[in-house]
């Protein structure tokens, strides 16, 4: 599930007003998703002065750590200095803020030092990690932060293939399909079929482009150049497929995100055409269970980047995310 900045601010403001604001958040999302804008809003939420930028918001109560060495790593000394400042005594009404930009650049020592801060946080303190690559953080750090994923710019609108799969999800949760392991396995197989279709379509486009180049240049260019172009198109095919696979996984997360939004009465949804299905999903699972299922899909996204068997991890993830 990923949020627009405005939606994330509303949820965080509600948590603050209800006294449920956590001590540590992980703000993540691609470039252009508004991570800095959200962090600035979070600074203001706890009563600190916010400037136009993070650097303009820095003060004795707002500490910022970011990669500064030539190696682009965050050093342990910077984390320890921030921790020391966060432990200083301040007036009772003041909430201190510690921000780590590009948190994926934490070195091993710095990660372990920050983990201790998470385990024993200073009083009246808000810790915010910001990154485009949350999967690079230690699992022990991830487990101690509330994740706030943001939607990237130019979110892809579901096409014909994606809409057909979302229709299957809709039927799954509104009673139009049988329940149980078989039903979930069927969803997983339909999703895998979508991936195969995407891959074949992408490969066809690049094969046709390579054929066109071969016809144009094979009489005027040496064989080595054409071989390099073949390698280039093969790599491009793989890259395009990985991108489309990530988009499809994001659709799954967005479905559960809409279900969670429906429980909180938030009107902004990703799939208005499937509102009945996502609202039905929200009625089946309580908020904590939805969050667990979203985490299962986040884990799927991570595992798809490994050498694990794609079909196997899809089946397991779908059972965790969509089993009824």
Looking at the predicted structure, is the pLDDT value of residue 179 above 80?
Answer: no
Same domain assignment for residues 275 and 143:
no
Q: pLDDT-based confidence at 229, cuts 50/70/90?
A: confident
Q: Are 84 and 117 in contact (CB under 8 A)?
A: no
Q: Residue 41 belongs to a domain with what CATH number? A: 3.40.50.300
* pLDDT of 237: 80
Q: Is residue 190 part of a domain?
A: yes
Which of 160-169, 198-207, 226-235 is most confident?
A: 160-169
Same domain assignment for residues 186 and 77:
no
* pLDDT of 127: 97
pLDDT tens for residues 70-81?
Answer: 667 898 999 999
Looking at the predicted structure, is the pLDDT value of residue 232 above 80?
Answer: no
Q: What is the mean pLDDT of residues 120-132?
A: 92
Backbone angles phi, psi at 104, to 5 degrees: -65, -10
Looking at the predicted structure, is the pLDDT value of residue 24 above 70?
Answer: yes
* pLDDT of 125: 93
* pLDDT of 139: 85
Q: What is the mean pLDDT of residues 115-140?
A: 89
* pLDDT of 91: 84
90 is in which domain, residue-wise?
A: 5-149
Looking at the predicted structure, is the pLDDT value of residue 25 above 70?
Answer: yes
Query: pLDDT above 70 covers what percent of the chain?
Result: 93
Same domain assignment for residues 194 and 63:
no
* pLDDT of 57: 94
Same domain assignment for residues 171 and 317:
yes
Same domain assignment for residues 141 and 232:
no
* pLDDT of 6: 87
* pLDDT of 235: 75
Same domain assignment for residues 69 and 198:
no
Q: Which long-range contacts (CB under 8 A, 24 or more apart) does 36-39 make?
A: 36/130, 37/5, 38/5, 38/8, 38/9, 38/148, 38/150, 39/99, 39/128, 39/130
Distance in angstroms (rounded) separating the CA atoms of residues 15 and 6: 14
Q: Measured at the alpha carbon of residue 40, what is the angle toward residues 149 and 32, in degrees to the nearest 5?
A: 50
Q: Is residue 277 part of a domain?
A: yes
* pLDDT of 176: 67
**How many domains does one find in the chain?**
2
- Among 116, 149, 182, residue at a domain's last position: 149
Residue with tokens 């996204």: 301
Looking at the predicted structure, is the pLDDT value of residue 209 above 70?
Answer: yes
- Among 149, 176, 207, residue at a domain's last position: 149
When mean pLDDT is compared across 32-36, 118-122, 224-228, 253-257, the lowest value belongs to: 224-228
* pLDDT of 264: 83
Looking at the predicted structure, is the pLDDT value of residue 96 above 90?
Answer: yes
Looking at the predicted structure, is the pLDDT value of residue 137 above 70?
Answer: yes
Same domain assignment for residues 167 and 252:
yes
Same domain assignment for residues 213 and 306:
yes
Q: Is residue 259 part of a domain?
A: yes
Q: Which long-range contacts (CB under 8 A, 24 or more apart) does 268-271 make?
A: 268/4, 268/6, 268/7, 270/155, 271/158, 271/166
Q: Is residue 155 part of a domain?
A: no
- Among 117, 149, 181, residue at a domain's last position: 149
Q: What is the mean pLDDT of the chain?
A: 86
Same domain assignment for residues 190 and 139:
no
Query: pLDDT above 90 covers what percent of the chain?
Result: 44
Q: Is residue 76 part of a domain?
A: yes
- Residue 180: exposed, middle, or buried by beta-carbon count in 10 A (0-12, 13-18, 19+)? exposed
Q: In which region does residue 265 sit, left (phi positive, over 0), alpha (psi from -120 to 50) or beta (all else)?
A: left
Q: At what angle do helices 223-263 and 275-284 cross, to 10 degrees?
A: 60
Q: Are 83 and 48 in contact (CB under 8 A)?
A: no
Distance in angstroms (rounded) separating the CA atoms of residues 31 and 51: 21
Q: Which helix (H) or strand (E) holds 130?
A: strand 125-131
Same domain assignment for residues 65 and 204:
no
Provide the 3-class DSSP secondary structure of residue 28: strand
Looking at the predicted structure, is the pLDDT value of residue 143 above 60?
Answer: yes
Q: pLDDT-based confidence at 225, cuts 50/70/90?
A: low
Q: Which of 65, 12, 63, 14 is nearest to 41 (CA)?
A: 12
Same domain assignment for residues 168 and 40:
no
pLDDT tens for residues 257-316?
Answer: 899 889 988 776 788 899 999 999 999 999 999 999 998 988 888 788 788 898 899 999
Same domain assignment for residues 126 and 10:
yes
Q: Is residue 154 part of a domain?
A: no
């Amino acid at each position: 599930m990923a949020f627009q900045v405005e939606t994330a601010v509303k949820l965080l403001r509600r948590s603050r007003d209800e006294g449920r604001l956590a001590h540590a958040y992980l703000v993540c999302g691609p470039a252009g998703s508004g991570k800095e804008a959200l962090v600035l809003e979070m600074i203001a939420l706890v009563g600190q002065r916010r400037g136009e930028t993070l650097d303009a918001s820095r003060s004795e109560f707002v500490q910022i750590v970011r990669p500064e060495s030539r190696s682009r790593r965050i050093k342990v000394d910077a984390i320890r200095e921030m921790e020391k400042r966060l432990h200083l005594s301040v007036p009772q009404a003041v909430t201190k803020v510690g921000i780590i930009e590009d948190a994926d650049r934490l070195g091993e020592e710095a990660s372990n030092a920050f983990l201790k801060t998470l385990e024993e946080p200073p009083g009246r303190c808000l810790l915010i990690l910001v990154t485009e690559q949350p999967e690079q953080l230690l699992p022990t750090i991830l487990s101690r932060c509330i994740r706030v994923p943001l939607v990237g710019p130019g979110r892809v609108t579901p096409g014909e293939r994606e809409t057909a799969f979302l229709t299957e999800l809709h039927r799954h949760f509104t009673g139009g399909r049988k329940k149980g392991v078989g039903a979930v396995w069927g969803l997983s197989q339909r999703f895998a079929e979508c991936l195969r279709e995407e891959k074949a379509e992408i490969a066809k486009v690049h094969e046709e482009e390579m054929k066109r180049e071969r016809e144009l240049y094979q009489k005027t260019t040496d064989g080595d150049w054409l071989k390099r172009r073949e390698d280039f198109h093969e790599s491009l095919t793989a890259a395009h497929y990985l991108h489309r696979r990530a988009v499809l996984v994001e659709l799954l997360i967005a479905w559960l995100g809409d279900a969670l939004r429906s429980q909180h009465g938030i009107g902004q949804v990703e799939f208005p055409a499937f509102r009945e299905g996502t609202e039905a999903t929200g009625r089946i699972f309580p908020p904590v269970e939805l969050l667990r299922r979203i985490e299962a899909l986040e884990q799927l996204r991570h595992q798809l980047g490994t050498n694990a068997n794609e079909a196997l991890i899809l089946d397991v993830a779908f059972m965790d995310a969509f089993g009824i």
